[in-house]
Amino acid sequence: MGIAVGQVAPDFTLQNQDKKEVKLSDFAGKKNVVLMFYPLDWSPVCTNEHACVVNAMKGFETLDAEVLGVSVDSVWSHKAYAEKMGIKYSLLADFQPRGAMADKYGVFLADKGITGRSIVIVNKAGKIAWIKNYDIPVVPDIDEVAAALQQVKAATA
């Protein structure tokens, strides 16, 4: 079961690569949140996706957005990956129970044991404002995400 635009986003608390707890509801009223679900650290398509996001971060910051990467990898994998890729945003470990948070959003692929590739924008009110699911081998169009984020920001301005 997936989620739909307009629904309240399921809250979660997960650890990032620095072992800090990140809670979705902490951003309520402060920032729009871009949840970037991706299958695995170190895979070629995910690496390209993160490289695009790292390059686009300045633009995302001007759009009042917090980017949170989410996969089933461990905190330690995320830490090594973030250091190698120059990632400054949080990579959240949906590790134990595996995929439980992604499952709340309808993007956990239980048969493969990984997170699907999907981007969800949660507005400052804590509601789903935009969703796009991608095939596993497709790098999301970061410009498209930025345009959607621009619309979300304008709607809440």
Contact 89, 15 (CB under 8 A): no
Q: Which residues of 51-73 are buried (b: 16+ CB within 10 A; e: fewer)?
A: eebbebeeebeebebbbbbbbbb
Cα separation, 62 vs 137, whole angstroms: 29
Length of the chain: 157
Catalytic residue, candidates 33, 40, 45, 46: 46
Contact 119, 147 (CB under 8 A): no
Cα separation, 87 vs 90, whole angstroms: 8
Q: Is 46 an annotated catalytic residue?
A: yes
Which active-site residues does the annotation give?
46
